[in-house]
Structure 1
Amino acid sequence: MQTEKAGEAGIVIVGGGAGGLELACKLGRKLGPGRVALVDSRPFHVWKPSLHEVAAGTLDIHQEGMSYQMLAHDSGFTFVYGALTGLDAARKRIDIAAVTTDAGEQVLPPRALAFDSLVISVGSTANYFGVPGAAEHTIALNTTEDAERFRMGLLTLLTLAEQKKTIGDNAGLDIVIIGGGATGVELAAELREASGVYTAYGFNQLRAARDVRITLLEGSPRILAPLPERVSAAALALLRERAIRVVTACRVSAIAPDHVTDTNGNVYPSHLCVWAAGIRAPQMLSGLGLPVNKGGQIEVDSFLRAKVREGREGQEGREGQADIYALGDCAACVDADGVAAPPRAQAAHQQADFLADIFLRRARGKAPSDKPFRYRDYGSLVSFGHSGTVGSLMGSLKGLSWFVEGALARLMYGSLHLLHHRAVLGTLRTALLALARFLIKRNTALVKLH
């Protein structure tokens, strides 16, 4: 197997999601490509919280995606294309899978990449909780491919429904979303808004509220259960205003190609079914020799270092392995205050800043900070398309929060995406990109039709 050196400092970051990419850009600008490498199984980056817009067709993936090669050139890190398949902690190297075309032709061979410090930031995948048929008959919006598969399926089904309408068949389209967290709620709202737009582009026989039937199933007594009750109630009202059926305290027992069944025997017809009911870390992490929890996340200490697996001798440090870190959804992080960092973009952003400070101090020969990582909850915002947003903002005093909705909340929600772009691209380029996308949206179809 071919071996590549990671460079003088050898900081290798595996996973180019929100946190991993921000960390690579911040370190690359200071240390350069010979000392920072980013490994990812895909050639371009998309901000994962926007995948529901890609699925609905209101966001064009080919305009939104940013090439890792371009970002590496501009931000001063090295991009290594391929998926992580193994870790040799003692020899300080990782194994990277071959890259092949859809036809099976090998583009890049399997490789081994040496490191001095390793950061694992590979995100999360769907947790189906053993529900029969969930993996086979649902789409989970984990990747851009998932979102595009849903969008193309939606276009096909809309076309079929339109054709049936012309011959007097009143059958419409049933979409079932399992999971009433932020992803499920935002997707339901975005789909309702998009379905109304699609009817303006040739689907003249369809009436969105009548013929595109959207059902949201949630196992808890209310949607958005982790958020304040006022936010949940406002979200429920907005969904019902948009003719979206919401069923709470609903436990799904089985999923078939054309329907979903719950534990009470209720049956929900479905042409398209989305799984948004839970996440877990990628299964691959369990084979790296690092300690993981029941959800497959790497257990880390209060400095985000991977903990030492019990029973192994000769490891560095009692608390954690000094040269291996994890951040984001794949890390089981409980800070010094006993607060578990949630699987959200703001947690990954804070962890990226924390690790950037550690590595930059080390590179400059400064003493490491003795302050452990502490997650700060700044609140949550939930989008309802371009016409509404609700959420809560956290104050500086513990337990203090403010309910926000309407135009202000929508503006703040949009700024979250821009803040991520700013961390990756810088202020000027982010401003130019925002302006360019605004102008493009005014001169193209409001939904992607191809």
Structure 2
Amino acid sequence: MSEPAVTRPAADLPVAPLGPSDQTEYNVVIVGGGAAGLELATQLGDRFRRTKAGRVTLIDRVRTHLWKPLLHSVAAGSMDTSEHELDYLAQAYWHNFRYRFGEMVGIDRERKLVLMAPTYDEEDRLITPARSIPYDTLVVAIGSITNDFGTPGVAEFAVPLETTEQAKRFNRRLINACLRAHTQAEPIRPGQLHVAIVGAGATGTELAAELYRTVREVIAFGMDRIDPSIDIRIILLEAGPRILPALPEALSQSTAETLKGLGVEVRTNARVSAIQADGIHLASGEFIPSELVVWAAGVKAPDVLKDIGGLETNRINQLVVTQTLQTTRDPSIFAMGDCAACPLDDTGATVPPRAQAAHQEASHLLKQIPRYMKGEPLEPYHYRDFGSLVSLGRYSTVGNLMGFIIGRNFRVEGLFARLMYRSLYKMHEYALHGGRWIFLAILARGLSRRAEPEVKLH
């Protein structure tokens, strides 16, 4: 199971240094095994196997990798994570890099060390001690976490979708809620089986569509006391004037119509002011009963980055980087993905926190880090927006592609859009494994689907 390490302050604990043999080669250390970090570690490790130029170390506080855009499917119960999770230790063995389990809590820039907290298991036994890992070049790629904007009750009563474990936690709560409603003596309470999703970006919108189907399929397995048409309610809340603000307005409107046609309640201009155990308070004064709440309303970089090592950060904790993805105060430290604030243009805008940006930045640093190691000048990174795609499960896929085939933006829906959406994940898998592995994985997943329920029931 991909569970985060339990960490504690390391101030009063001894730091375990690495052995001398680990410090004789040029060390590229990557912190964060998300899409960008793992792709870079894999491909740079393969390159160093051939060139013998150095060694790559990947640090992450969980032990397995799952492509983050799949988390809504895990939360809805429509995907078996065991078929898609990747073990870091195995990937490191196959692709010539080292994996270190633990969480970064600081950077010593003078001695070029990544400081890691000790980790403990569920029984409070030490797994790994506090230690330091030396680097010559450091790449920070720890992604983003949910930004609750200080809204009361979010931490206590809402479930974010940042990690695999959080998505599994929400799915367990959903199944438990259905079982509870089916077996309780008293009638089902208003809001007891309502799911409110706060934030109508891609994650929230995709989750709403998936949940509409999966909840009904769970209930169909013998929970006849629950009437989906009466007891189940999926509510999608957006503080702005429309859902999917990153897409053209026409696509936002058509997606909203599709969701409403399914029975999802779409509420725009609905700013949440507080969350409590049995529902949501809106700034307008309205109260929406709901005992299951997902918070997908905004992102920020993890709090550990705020002032880490004296590096420059912005108001949402992102490391400020130059066009070469180097931090402004230390050229030996790079940052990429959601935790980096990279200039987009001359207006002061930054590259958006999207999967395609992380993939592009990893590909860019794969070429630039060997140049940096040789003391050669680095080429600037330029973000290319290829558009956006949003999957509504088996009901539809919509999006826009930007200058991809015909030299201008165009709208895509239906089968073509679905194939394009799936190709994004296949590109990520190809970067990690190559083409032969993808073929075998598709075959294995197809066979397992024929022998199991289409939704997770436990």
Please name the residue that 2:312 is paired with.
Answer: 291
Q: Which runs of 4+ in 1 moved over 6 A?
A: none
Q: Distance in 1 between matches of 2:381 and 2:188?
A: 59
Q: Distance in 2 between matches of 1:380 and 1:256?
A: 34
Please name the residue that 2:338 is paired with.
Answer: 329
- Correspondence for 2:361 among 351, 356, 365: 351
Q: Distance in 1 between matches of 2:267 and 2:326?
A: 41
Residues 324/272 of structure 1: CA separation in 2 closer, same or farther (3 Å cut):
same
Secondary structure of residue in 2 paired with 1:230: helix
Residues 250/40 of structure 1: CA separation in 2 closer, same or farther (3 Å cut):
same
2:120 is the counterpart of 1:103: no
Q: Distance in 2 between matches of 1:346 and 1:406?
A: 21
- Correspondence for 2:455 among 441, 447, 450: 447
Please name the residue that 1:147 is paired with.
Answer: 167
- Correspondence for 2:434 among 412, 426, 437: 426
Moved more, 377-386 or 391-400: 391-400
Deviation (angstroms), 1:167: 6.9
5+ long unaligned stretches in structure 2: 1-14
2:367 is the counterpart of 1:367: no
Report if aligned partners of 2:28, 2:136 keep a CA contact under 8 Å in 1: yes
Report if aligned partners of 2:307, 2:313 keep a CA contact under 8 Å in 1: no
Please name the residue that 1:215 is paired with.
Answer: 235
Please give the root-mean-square deviation of Cα atoms over the aligned residues, in Å: 1.9
Deviation (angstroms), 1:62: 2.4
Deviation (angstroms), 1:6: 5.7
- Correspondence for 2:325 among 304, 316, 339: 304
Report if aligned partners of 1:259, 1:269 keep a CA contact under 8 Å in 2: yes
2:433 is the counterpart of 1:412: no
Q: Distance in 2 between matches of 1:7 and 1:238?
A: 59
Aligned-partner residue type, residue 292 of structure 1: T
Q: Distance in 2 between matches of 1:306 and 1:399?
A: 34
2:196 is the counterpart of 1:176: yes
Deviation (angstroms), 1:361: 3.3
Q: Distance in 1 between matches of 2:24 and 2:245?
A: 46
Moved more, 285-294 or 11-20: 285-294
Please name the residue that 1:244 is paired with.
Answer: 264
Q: Distance in 2 between matches of 1:260 and 1:219?
A: 13
Report if aligned partners of 2:278, 2:290 keep a CA contact under 8 Å in 1: yes
TM-score (norm 1): 0.93
Please name the residue that 1:388 is paired with.
Answer: 396
Secondary structure of residue in 1 paired with 2:78: coil
Deviation (angstroms), 1:67: 0.3
Aligned-partner residue type, residue 326 of structure 1: A
Moved more, 431-440 or 322-331: 431-440
Residues 46/271 of structure 1: CA separation in 2 closer, same or farther (3 Å cut):
same
Residues 267/168 of structure 1: CA separation in 2 closer, same or farther (3 Å cut):
closer
Deviation (angstroms), 1:398: 12
1:265-276 equivalences in 2 (<5 Å): 265-276=285-296
2:179 is the counterpart of 1:159: yes
Please name the residue that 1:316 is paired with.
Answer: none
Deviation (angstroms), 1:74: 0.9
Q: Deviations over 1:71-114 (max 9, x none)?
A: 10111110011000110011101111112111110011111000
Q: Deviations over 1:236-291 (max 9, x none)?
A: 01110110001101111111111101111111111100111101100000141211
Secondary structure of residue in 1 paired with 2:162: coil
Deviation (angstroms), 1:210: 3.2
Please name the residue that 1:40 is paired with.
Answer: 60
Deviation (angstroms), 1:337: 5.7
Aligned-partner residue type, residue 18 of structure 1: A
Q: Deviations over 1:296-348 (max 9, x none)?
A: 1000000000112xxxxxxxxxxxx2210000000001145655211111000
Q: Distance in 2 between matches of 1:168 and 1:258?
A: 16
Please name the residue that 2:43 is paired with.
Answer: 26
Please name the residue that 1:132 is paired with.
Answer: 152
**Identity within the alignment, %:** 42
Secondary structure of residue in 2 paired with 1:87: strand
Report if aligned partners of 1:6, 1:113 keep a CA contact under 8 Å in 2: no
Moved more, 5-14 or 405-414: 5-14
Moved more, 207-216 or 143-152: 207-216
Deviation (angstroms), 1:162: 2.1
Please name the residue that 1:3 is paired with.
Answer: 17
Deviation (angstroms), 1:425: 1.2
2:190 is the counterpart of 1:197: no
Secondary structure of residue in 2 paired with 1:391: strand
Q: Distance in 2 between matches of 1:210 and 1:276?
A: 26
2:29 is the counterpart of 1:12: yes
Q: Distance in 1 between matches of 2:328 and 2:88?
A: 30
Report if aligned partners of 1:386, 1:410 keep a CA contact under 8 Å in 2: no
Moved more, 351-360 or 398-407: 398-407
TM-score (norm 2): 0.91
Deviation (angstroms), 1:387: 2.7
